[in-house]
Structure 1
Amino acid sequence: MDYRLQVFVTAANRLSFTKAASELYITQPAVSKHIQELEDSYKIKLFDRKGSKISLTQAGEILLKHSRNIFEIYRTIDFDMSILTKERQGSLRLGASTTISQYVISPLLADFHSKLKDIKVNLRNGNTEHIENALINKEIEVGIVEGQSKNPSIKYTAFLKDEIVLVCRTNHPLARKRNISITELETLKFLTREVGSGTLEVIEHSLKKENISLNKLTIEMQLGSTESIKSYLSSSDCVAFMSIHAVNKELKNNELMIIDVDNLAIERYFYIITLQGSQNALTALFIKNLIKHYNLKL
């Protein structure tokens, strides 16, 4: 039954029997067989099938919720029992928003692995909205995100300070000025991240305090990753607000430059997120190491 539930959860997460089979290293007919056996056992359909596409039924949604809870308990049992033998084994599912996963968290994960080699860490990358949803759906145990949103079911702990700066290529016409007034922002062409991005949310919040609406800015393009924005900037006259962590290398290599905006400072914190009232021993250990790595006092 446990393995059938594992197959079911994988298929439910992927919404594809073929992708579930690939992830579990079994055949697609084997996935179908396990799902069929579950449906026969509960006497109800778990998936609606329309050609090659599948979606969860109401029964499937209920089983997915309970299955996630079951596997969360198993992970907690595995880690708690390993502590008794001083082995500290287990698996941790971590989520990080794009800026953090690409530019901040790698040294931390390397440090964590060097201390606890038997803890397997699975890192999920996505924008802040995706990571928060993954936490609420119990697809991860802990996340690190950017942004201003506050979901009441999530505990937010300020973790690391960040600054968002306005950048452009070094041979941009603005390069001679080095700083501009806040009203000049409306004369520029911008690249931004997609809706749901924590960085975009913080920018919009900060500009609003200065009576500037994001809608008043000329947005040439919305792009789905920080790397694509940097690449676009290198061959265009656009500008972009970006995390200082994301452009450190380009600033050092003189590929991008910062344009100061008078009377505008966009600062934020990255946040550690866990579900309210829910933190197992492994999650607590990871957070403790994260705090120690950055010499923080939370």
Structure 2
Amino acid sequence: MDFEQLKTFLHVCRLKSFSRAAEKLGVTQPAISAQIRSLEKEVGARLFDRDGGKVTFTAAGRLFEPFAEHCLQCHSHIVVAVNELYRSARGEVSVSASEATSLYILPPVFAEYKKQYTRVNLSIVRAEHLRSIEMVVNREVDFAIVSTPLKDPRLTVQCIHRDEIVLTVSPAHPLATRSTIKVDEMLQFPMLLLKQGRQRTLLNNFLESFDAQPRVAMEVDSSELLKRLIAAGLGMGFLPRANVDDDVRGGLLKVVKVEGMRISRELALIFRKDRTLTHAAHAFLEIATNSTEQLYPALRTAKAAL
């Protein structure tokens, strides 16, 4: 049973004629008859009595008519709803990102998006790098924001944010009064590091280029925890500038420049190449990729410094 058969059935009902229904639908009368026979076979009962040119309902046909009407109305509502979904921003957009990205990068993007598209429900799933990629690949979320580089032929990768990794200390740290230090000075103090990830890899490469062996006081698996430990005076550490700008302005942390150190990180918005984006998803993509710097002034400053 399909919608064309139901449409044919209802035209025959209203016009009480196979020939007039064929003319109305722009098909041949044999085609109308074939559709009705197929429908009757599936229903398991005759729907019309034909006496010469006169067409009347059988009891089964009269019973079937309101159900056919309801099915076509549902079909119409489905088509309108789906078309509306792609014409205007409504529905839901889901994004996966790490804890730090959720705290420091996404809020201004989400705020601008909700200001423009109030009828869209935004949801964020906090997950680390590999899990975020997996969720996009498995179609569990629309987008993810992850560190680059990332090469996966299934994914579209669009950079949305770039800033530097900076040495961060508490205001009470011996280096807090210094604006710039040398690498060998830095190595005299305990260091807090992330256990793994792109940021740790970049830092390892930098230290290896100086043949430097840091005094590792602790390794943690969260950049937010790392920041809190630095503020508590347990050691110094490296964090993205966007993560610490508010704390530096508030006097809770200090940033110290290390001579010869130029480490930057990039975050990209990723989504499946074969995913059909709704109007709401297209709108989020546009805001996230084109407006990040305008929405978050600190990013402009960081980018200019690179």
Q: For 1:285, which of 280, 283, 286 is the aligned residue?
A: 283
In 1, Cα distance between the equivalents of 2:201 and 2:180?
Answer: 23
- What is the Cα deviation at residue 175 of structure 1? 2.2
Alignment check: 8 A CA contact 2:159 2:289 kept: no
Whether 1:187 and 2:188 are equivalent positions in the alignment is yes
- What is the Cα deviation at residue 280 of structure 1? 1.6
- What is the Cα deviation at residue 243 of structure 1? 0.8
2:137 corresponding residue in structure 1 = 136
Residue identity matched to 2:282: A
3-state secondary structure, aligned to 1:286 = helix
Q: For 1:82, which of 81, 84, 96 is the aligned residue?
A: 84
3-state secondary structure, aligned to 1:187 = coil
- What is the Cα deviation at residue 102 of structure 1? 0.6
Residue identity matched to 1:81: N
In 1, Cα distance between the equivalents of 2:80 and 2:114?
Answer: 18
Q: What pairs up with 1:190-229 in 2 under 5 angstroms? A: 190-195=191-196, 197-208=197-208, 210-212=209-211, 216-229=213-226
- What is the Cα deviation at residue 206 of structure 1? 4.4
Return closer, same or farther for 1:228/1:154 CA change in 2, 3 Å cut-off. same
In 2, Cα distance between the equivalents of 1:92 and 1:217?
Answer: 43
Alignment check: 8 A CA contact 2:199 2:265 kept: no
In 2, Cα distance between the equivalents of 1:178 and 1:121?
Answer: 41
1:241 corresponding residue in structure 2 = 238
RMSD: 2.7
Matched positions, count:
215
Instruction: Give ranges in structure 1 of 5+ residues lacking alignment.
Output: 1-76
Q: What pairs up with 1:1-298 in 2 under 5 angstroms? A: 80-83=82-85, 87-195=88-196, 197-208=197-208, 210-212=209-211, 216-281=213-278, 282-294=280-292
User: What TM-score do the two structures reach when normalised by structure 2?
Assistant: 0.62
Give CA deviations for 1:185-215 in whole Å, capped at 9, x if unaligned: 44332222342x343344334445x3557xx
Alignment check: 8 A CA contact 1:189 1:219 kept: yes
2:18 corresponding residue in structure 1 = none
- What is the Cα deviation at residue 235 of structure 1? 2.6
Give CA deviations for 1:260-286 in whole Å, capped at 9, x if unaligned: 111111112221111234352343221
Instruction: Give ranges in structure 2 of 5+ residues lacking alignment.
Output: 1-78, 295-306
In 2, Cα distance between the equivalents of 1:283 and 1:247?
Answer: 30
Return closer, same or farther for 1:83/1:220 CA change in 2, 3 Å cut-off. same
Alignment check: 8 A CA contact 2:172 2:233 kept: no
In 2, Cα distance between the equivalents of 1:218 and 1:149?
Answer: 31
In 1, Cα distance between the equivalents of 2:198 and 2:135?
Answer: 15
Alignment check: 8 A CA contact 1:147 1:202 kept: no
In 2, Cα distance between the equivalents of 1:80 and 1:120?
Answer: 17
In 2, Cα distance between the equivalents of 1:244 and 1:79?
Answer: 44
In 1, Cα distance between the equivalents of 2:293 and 2:256?
Answer: 31
- What is the Cα deviation at residue 105 of structure 1? 0.8
In 2, Cα distance between the equivalents of 1:156 and 1:177?
Answer: 39
Give CA deviations for 1:101-126 in whole Å, capped at 9, x if unaligned: 11111111121112212211110112
Give CA deviations for 1:110-160 in whole Å, capped at 9, x if unaligned: 211122122111101122222112222222111112243434433221112
- What is the Cα deviation at residue 100 of structure 1? 1.6
Could you tell me the percent identity over the aligned residues? 18
Return closer, same or farther for 1:91/1:221 CA change in 2, 3 Å cut-off. same
- What is the Cα deviation at residue 78 of structure 1? 9.3
Larger radius of gyration: 2
3-state secondary structure, aligned to 1:135 = helix
User: What TM-score do the two structures reach when normalised by structure 1?
Assistant: 0.63
Alignment check: 8 A CA contact 1:148 1:202 kept: no
Give CA deviations for 1:207-228 in whole Å, capped at 9, x if unaligned: 45x3557xx3332222233332
